[in-house]
Structure 1
């Protein structure tokens, strides 16, 4: 009978940073242990608070495997592992990024941050409900008007981006960030309209109030927000963006990226619903921007633009 080599103790002393020790020992771990390690490194705050059953379920292993992993990384058990996680989180670098630990090299920072967002996107994809996305796309496709509301720097940008995309699809659309204009727009909506509210935090009182007004006037409310928020509670359709909270930003990179992806998904589905005519229209828009846009890669267009300006100046001068 072949004896297996003992697993290495990955934590050299009780005072070491457990997150760094886990990260350093990834290469020597089994596939199951690597899944547990990745889960902890991706969201140590959650791992510190979760029970053994939740940890096992998310990592796809058994509960005893979680306990064995804790001992493998030099802890007395799961409770000791959580205490060391708490100590590691208290001393700092997760306030820059939850996947970065003090002393990480540039290569490690790149690997950890890219790996973190990849893991977040995978988890988020599995949470999505295609039927809700389909319903939202169908209603927007048939709407008389779609008003995009976003309050705050990120939400406002996303609302404007969505308005620009819907406009290209031939949908009558607006984007509002001002609280008063949101109320005015909401008050003019009807049962034929859609109010698309964007807010990761989902608690801005003025936005929630404007959404309530739109709903009172019969509009269908679609919310791009977290599941358990006041905005989600009032929406007819919730497109959830439940991702780990950022250490420093109210709307971190994870939230920003998944919101952009949801908008992209919606626009593609709506475009397909609008059929070949819309696709031909988009092709024409692309060709016009390519051949007539002054920011094209074709340098001759830049000269063409300057010639237009110069000729225009000469024509104005000749009038005097």
Structure 2
């Protein structure tokens, strides 16, 4: 058996066919549950079939589900897997710190393998060119993420509004128009009121960027799916792994949108910081990179999507 079976599963997930990818994601999300399930139960939960479960086990190097379960049980018994936090009641403080820190690092690292880069590029292009961006969050965590991303996009010069109230989300959706973008953030991806607001916005011609788990009702509606799967938290359904993966995706979106908008985004940030400086707030900042041609002396405001660099 590979000494890091869960790592092998995560690596295989990146290039597996859609149905098998769902099976692998379920294993990573809750390996203990998989150990208790039958062939049929796992097939039903993954919306696949028993033969597909068998093929997935063979992809991992096992003759069948029973052999795979034995190897998985052995690895979980060892504990300390870098891809699945397993803190027991007997763990000392240093062991708890180590397991949680490695789990958090693995969650962030896993974002890279889960994002579809062509889809991400298309989503960034739509956001950067949108006359207006509405952001919806369902639940306390997703609402915080929506507010954070709205503040970032607004500072880059985009017209963006985050809506918390479910009724106002629907009103905002009805006010959307072709070319507009709605960014919906939800780990669970099944809140009926959120889905209603999304449906209303799409009916007006807006395009949907969904930050959610693959296979959810929200994901099925997305024009651009930023699909991120993370294990459920033992204390809260939406836990630290979801926080970290979504925050990482938000940072990626911010930088890519800034690159797409080019010098105009940097100038917007410069003006904002100058306004803060005059009022004595937010003055401890890092210098902004310039995306202008150093030989031209032109500070331009073209918003050229080909400008190179990274947002500060």
TM-score normalised over the length of structure 2: 0.69
Cα 1:181/1:35, change in 2 over 3 Å: same
Query: Which residue number corresponds to residue 160 of structure 2?
Result: 173
Match of 1:194 among 181, 198, 208: 181
Question: Can you list the C-alpha shifts for 1:136-156, whole angstroms capped at 9, x where unaligned?
Answer: 110011101000011210111
Cα deviation for residue 239 of structure 1 reads 0.7
Cα deviation for residue 221 of structure 1 reads 1.0
Take 1:137 and 1:281, find their aligned partners in 2: how far apart are those partners? 18
Query: Which residue number corresponds to residue 215 of structure 1?
Result: 202
Which residues of structure 2 form unaligned runs of 5+? 9-26, 43-52, 286-312
CA contact (8 A) 2:208 2:223 kept: yes
- Number of residue pairs the alignment of both structures matches: 247
After TM superposition, the structure 1 stretch with the greater mean CA deviation from structure 2, 272-281 or 181-190, is 272-281
Query: Which residue number corresponds to residue 229 of structure 2?
Result: 242
Cα deviation for residue 81 of structure 1 reads 6.0
Matched, 1:118 2:105: yes
Cα deviation for residue 54 of structure 1 reads 4.7
The structure that has the greater radius of gyration is 1
Which residues of structure 1 form unaligned runs of 5+? 1-31, 68-76, 90-96, 299-320
The answer to which structure has the higher helix fraction is: 1
Match of 2:170 among 183, 201, 213: 183
Matched, 1:133 2:120: yes
Take 2:231 and 2:146, find their aligned partners in 1: how far apart are those partners? 22
Query: Which residue number corresponds to residue 4 of structure 2?
Result: 35
Take 1:42 and 1:144, find their aligned partners in 2: how far apart are those partners? 38
TM-score normalised over the length of structure 1: 0.67
Take 1:162 and 1:79, find their aligned partners in 2: how far apart are those partners? 41
Q: Secondary structure at the match of 1:243?
A: coil
CA contact (8 A) 2:62 2:68 kept: no
Cα 1:250/1:42, change in 2 over 3 Å: closer
Q: Which of structures 1 and 2 has the larger relative contact order (alpha carbons within 8 angstroms, sep 6+)?
A: 2
Query: Which residue number corresponds to residue 260 of structure 1?
Result: 247
Cα deviation for residue 267 of structure 1 reads 0.9
Take 2:217 and 2:234, find their aligned partners in 1: how far apart are those partners? 22
CA contact (8 A) 2:214 2:227 kept: yes
Report the RMSD for the aligned CA atoms in angstroms. 3.4
Match of 2:150 among 154, 163, 175: 163
Q: Secondary structure at the match of 2:219?
A: helix
After TM superposition, the structure 1 stretch with the greater mean CA deviation from structure 2, 278-287 or 180-189, is 278-287
CA contact (8 A) 1:42 1:99 kept: no
